[in-house]
């Protein structure tokens, strides 16, 4: 299928049968923007894209690489307060714990990651440490630590504070909230927001209220490569924060948290969640209104607009979105030879040496795909489907690793990861349009 892109396309044709679907896709989106707007209204008026010096300094301290061990807990802490386990936090913060358990952050040491890291711990600990820095950033979650001898020689040594169970729990509460056993969090949701140390008599000695928690930059360390990070075709492999910065969302006061943690809920829904993806895009199909007969050419325009994603749709190289069209008879028999497909995504080779194409849709823009087909008979229908494959790259990557006999100690985990990745695609849009008067 051919593709064109534009800020907005004026429709040349009357739209058929899209109204109910517009509401299905459009209404939750309006609600989302409405909520985000309301919520932003209750926040400090500053743009979430602009950081104070104090916020930048806090983030630099908070997200040191690697994070130092917590050290011994204060003597007055109960075992519950001293524990870094998410379930311990959950006894007093049940809502955050329940939400977090359903999130992808809690699965960031799943079989696809651990299946690769397990082999690196001995053979290539420096690479394992790179993976840990985003997937399990607490020192307590890492088997080995880089230790510098008095002679200035740095070697990886077994980590005395290592907690294997905490490692398997992925991106845990403490990774974002606890340093040296001190809790850090956003200011309470009261106006005016009070920052600084809050009430030492609360459990775990109260907490430090930091406005940086409400800013997009809080997420930057793991969702944005640095300027000198790995790039292909002149574009960083991970660029989500910059994509957001270049959109209109910072000016509207809408941060990552407004969409991914609505009402401060710890959900982080993204490309793996059908409802989240539907809220982010508006899909329309234009079919010129006329009498269709055998031998004539149908030209339908399918438009996918990024109306609610705060960055490119999709932001990473790993997902793919398939826009598909085919004809079927009035009885529903599919004509496979009429199938056409266009792909939204950034395609890179498995060894990450080359970018093959980049058709991702920036915030506020849209892409149109033309389905052109000479009709092989009378009384046909057009079916349009949009299918999201969130783990498209990983499916091929795991399959290739296993086919080469690779995987080592992690091989059975990678088999499991491949099964999961193969099960992940879902349909966000399907519409059947008769090309005849029924």
Nearer to ligand HEC, 255 or 285 (CB): 255
Q: Which parts of 209-228 interact with ligand HEC (CB under 6 A)? A: 209, 213-214, 216, 218-219, 221-223
Please state, in angstroms and rounded to a whole number, the distance separating the CA atoms of residues 177 and 168: 18
Is position 367 an interface residue for ligand HEC (rule: CB under 6 A)? no
How many angstroms separate the first and last alpha carbons of the chain?
28
Output the six-digit token pair for 106. 């809690």
Is position 130 an interface residue for ligand HEC (rule: CB under 6 A)? yes
What separation in angstroms does the CA of 423 have from each of 1, 139, 177? 26, 33, 33
Output the six-digit token pair for 69. 């061990």
Q: How far is the CB of 326 from ligand HEC (least distance, A)?
A: 25
The neighbour count for residue 389, using CB atoms within 10 Å, is 21
Nearest to 179 by CA among 265, 284, 84, 79: 84
Q: How far is the CB of 232 from ligand HEC (least distance, A)?
A: 14
Exactly one of 21, 35, 104, 335 binds ligand HEC (CB under 6 A); which one?
Answer: 104
The answer for residues whose C-beta is within 8 angstroms of residue 78's C-beta and 6 or more apart is none
Please state, in angstroms and rounded to a whole number, the distance separating the CA atoms of residues 80 and 414: 35
Q: Which parts of 372-401 interact with ligand HEC (CB under 6 A)? A: 390, 394
Is position 326 an interface residue for ligand HEC (rule: CB under 6 A)? no
Q: Which parts of 250-289 interact with ligand HEC (CB under 6 A)? A: 254, 256-257, 259-261, 264, 266, 268, 270-272, 276-277, 279-280
Is position 189 an interface residue for ligand HEC (rule: CB under 6 A)? yes
Exactly one of 49, 112, 205, 407 binds ligand HEC (CB under 6 A); which one?
Answer: 112
Q: Which parts of 409-428 interact with ligand HEC (CB under 6 A)? A: 417
Exposure of 378 in the CB half-sphere (CA atoms within 13 A): 4
Exactly one of 46, 47, 133, 340 binds ligand HEC (CB under 6 A); which one?
Answer: 133
Q: Which parts of 68-87 interact with ligand HEC (CB under 6 A)? A: 80-81, 84, 86
Q: How far is the CB of 118 from ligand HEC (least distance, A)?
A: 10
What separation in angstroms does the CA of 243 have from each of 37, 279, 312, 315, 357? 20, 18, 7, 8, 18
Please state, in angstroms and rounded to a whole number, the distance separating the CA atoms of residues 431 and 220: 38
Is position 135 an interface residue for ligand HEC (rule: CB under 6 A)? yes
Answer yes or no: are the C-beta atoms of 36 and 279 closer than 8 Å: no
Q: How far is the CB of 209 from ligand HEC (least distance, A)?
A: 6
Q: How far is the CB of 298 from ligand HEC (least distance, A)?
A: 30
Nearer to ligand HEC, 261 or 384 (CB): 261
């Amino acid at each position: 299928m051919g593709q064109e892109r534009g800020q907005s396309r004026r429709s040349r044709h009357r739209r058929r049968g899209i109204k109910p679907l517009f509401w299905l896709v459009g209404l939750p989106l309006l609600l989302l923007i409405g909520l985000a707007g309301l919520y932003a209204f209750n926040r400090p008026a500053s743009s979430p894209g602009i950081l104070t010096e104090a916020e930048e300094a806090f983030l630099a301290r908070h997200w040191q690489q690697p994070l130092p061990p917590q050290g011994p807990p204060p003597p007055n802490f109960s075992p519950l307060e001293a524990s870094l386990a998410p379930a311990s936090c959950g006894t007093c913060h049940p809502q955050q714990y329940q939400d977090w358990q359903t999130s992808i952050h809690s699965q960031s040491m799943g079989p696809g990651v651990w299946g690769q890291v397990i082999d690196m711990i001995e053979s290539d600990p420096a690479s394992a440490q790179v993976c840990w820095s985003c997937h399990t950033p607490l020192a307590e979650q890492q088997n080995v630590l880089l230790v510098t001898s008095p002679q200035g020689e740095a070697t990886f040594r077994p980590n005395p504070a290592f907690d294997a169970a905490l490692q398997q729990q992925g991106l845990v509460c403490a990774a974002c909230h606890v340093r040296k056993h001190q809790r850090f969090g956003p200011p309470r949701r009261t106006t005016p927001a009070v920052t600084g140390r809050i009430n030492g008599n609360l459990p775990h000695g109260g907490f430090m209220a930091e406005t940086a928690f409400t800013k997009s930059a809080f997420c930057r360390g793991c969702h944005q490569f640095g300027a000198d990070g790995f790039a292909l075709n002149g574009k960083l492999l991970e660029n989500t924060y910059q994509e957001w910065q270049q959109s209109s969302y910072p000016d509207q006061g809408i941060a990552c948290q407004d969409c991914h943690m609505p009402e401060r809920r710890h959900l982080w829904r993204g490309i793996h969640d059908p409802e989240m993806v539907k809220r982010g895009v508006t899909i329309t199909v234009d079919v010129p209104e006329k009498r269709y007969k055998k031998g004539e050419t149908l030209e339908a325009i399918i438009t996918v607009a990024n109306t609610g994603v705060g960055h490119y749709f999709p932001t990473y190289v790993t997902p793919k979105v398939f826009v598909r069209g085919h004809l079927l008879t009035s009885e529903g028999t599919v004509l496979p030879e009429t199938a056409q497909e266009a792909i939204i995504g950034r395609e890179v080779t498995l060894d990450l040496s080359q970018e093959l194409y980049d058709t991702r849709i920036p915030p506020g823009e849209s892409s149109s795909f033309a389905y052109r087909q000479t009709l092989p008979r009378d009384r046909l229908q057009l079916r349009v489907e949009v299918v999201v494959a969130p783990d498209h790259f990983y499916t091929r990557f795991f399959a290739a690793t296993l086919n080469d006999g690779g995987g080592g100690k992690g091989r059975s985990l990678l088999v499991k990861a491949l099964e999961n990745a193969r099960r992940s695609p879902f349909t966000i849009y399907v519409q059947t349009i008769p090309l005849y008067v029924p």
